[in-house]
Amino acid sequence: MSTTASTKNGTWRNWGGNVSARPAREVTPASVDELAAAVRKAAEDGLKVKAVGTGHSFTAIAATDGLLIRPQLLTGIRNIDREAGTVTVEAGTPLKRLNVALAREGLSLTNMGDIMEQTVSGATSTGTHGTGRDSGSIAAQIKGLELVTADGSVLVCSEKENPEVFAAARIGLGALGIVTAITFAVEPLFLLTAREEPMALDRVIAELDELWAENEHFEFYWFPHTDSTNTKRNNRSAGPEQPVGQLTGWFEDEFLSNGVFQVAQLVGRAAPATIPAIARISSKALSARTYTDIPYKVFTSPRRVRFVEMEYAVPREALAKTLRELKTMVDRSGLRVSFPVEVRTAPADDITLSTASGRDSAYVAVHMFRGTPYQAYFTAAERIFTAHEGRPHWGKVHTRDAEYLAGVYPRFGEFTALRDRLDPERLFQNDYLRRVLG
């Protein structure tokens, strides 16, 4: 099964299957110069420009009827600076390839999201994040960026060089230019011990502060229609390495989490009345386990069951109330929700439009199986999230506009002013950016 978006008969579709576009033309540049030339030519021809990664966004953030830039030839590591603790990588490099290459060099990112199919530029531009007490988003690990701006010139930025661009472009939504290379902070390869165990939802909510404070990385999944969660704590370890056994790994990660889960979703979609019973069985299927491995093998896992997702960042102190309201809403609504709710955290950062900009944040993600009507559930969940000044993930389903977002992002005006300067003609505009940035 493909893990990326696809193009058929000139129509581009995202991974979730809920967004499609028909670009006027597509290019796959083999160098930054070629990319810059394509941007200049598009501007001359009056075409809007968007770059697409692997299409893992559920929003139309990368959709265009103009020029579609595919970055898959702009891949690989440009430079490793062990003294500075950085690696510079081409924008089209998939996170998976970066992780494997870094591990071979005895290096690792500090934190990651829970999948690694995306390109580095797609993941960072939309604010993809993992969970962490001290580190959250992948973008927060960026030390430098190179981007092609609307006039076709190449702009380099870091904390020292063009710092105001750096503050915004780490999560730039594709609105400021086309990212061509990213410099990440890396550290010597380390081991993480993961401890996964079921826990009652009430207990998790009661102990949220301790669970967050005592673990470098804490997250959990709550199964709607039940009081059950599956918790995961990842902490650094002196070793030894004790990876999940091949058979156990296949059984739990492939068979249960993808195979049986896919069947359960299909049954639930066909007969929604069965969903609460399936949820009770699902929540008990995964038993406690502990394993120790290198970071990307602990942080990420395969996700083969297709879904549509909405995720909001709420202030961390509002998490318990948000979860209680979400549970009450599901219990009273008559909705049938077959997908677990995922909860993660991130510390405040200094990126202009980061979902954790200026505040310690908790992420609550709701999912529905692809092909299942999701609007009623997402609308009800969104009402709860926005009541807590929630900030929607830029790459996941939401209905917010610039007026709302300006109210929950203190530095919103700073971003739009920079965009006016870098892209006055709105070469990188599309319908989604028009809605969220005004």
pLDDT reported for residue 2: 45
CA atoms within 13 A on the CB side of 432: 23
The closest of 369, 260, 373, 390 to 314, measured between CA atoms, is 390
User: How far apart (Å, rounded) are the C-alpha atoms in residues 132 and 212?
Assistant: 8
**Are 394 and 173 spatial neighbours (Cβ–Cβ below 8 Å)?**
yes
pLDDT reported for residue 253: 66
User: What is the torsion angle, in degrees rounded to the nearest 10, for the CA atoms of residue 188, residue 193, residue 199 and residue 202?
Assistant: -30
The DSSP-derived string for 201-222 is HHHHHHTHHHHHHH-SEEEEEE
Q: What is the pLDDT along the chain (438 residues), one digit of tens a residue?
A: 344 566 667 889 998 888 999 999 999 999 999 999 999 999 999 999 999 988 999 999 999 999 999 999 999 999 999 999 999 999 999 999 999 999 999 999 999 998 889 999 999 999 999 999 998 899 999 999 999 999 999 999 999 999 999 999 999 999 999 999 999 999 999 999 999 999 999 999 999 999 999 999 999 999 999 999 999 999 999 989 998 876 666 566 665 666 667 777 777 777 888 778 777 777 776 778 899 999 999 999 877 788 899 999 999 999 999 999 999 999 999 999 989 999 999 999 999 999 999 999 999 999 998 888 899 999 999 999 999 999 999 999 999 999 999 999 999 999 999 999 999 999 999 999 999 999
pLDDT reported for residue 256: 61
Pairing of strands 67-69, 25-27: parallel
pLDDT reported for residue 10: 81
Please identify which residue in the block is written with the tokens 């510079």. 88
The DSSP-derived string for 51-68 is E--S---SSSTT--SSEE
pLDDT reported for residue 1: 36
Q: Which two tokens stand for residue 19?
A: 């967004």
CA distances from 44 to 36, 39, 154, 167, 234 (A): 13, 9, 18, 30, 51
- The DSSP symbol for 340 reads P
User: How far apart (Å, rounded) are the C-alpha atoms in residues 73 and 53?
Assistant: 11
Sign of CA dihedral 194, 195, 200, 204: negative
Pairing of strands 178-185, 142-148: antiparallel
Q: Which two tokens stand for residue 59?
A: 């929003």
DSSP H stretches of helix in 4-88? 32-44
C-alpha triplet 162, 396, 403: angle, nearest 5°: 65
**Model pTM score:** 0.93
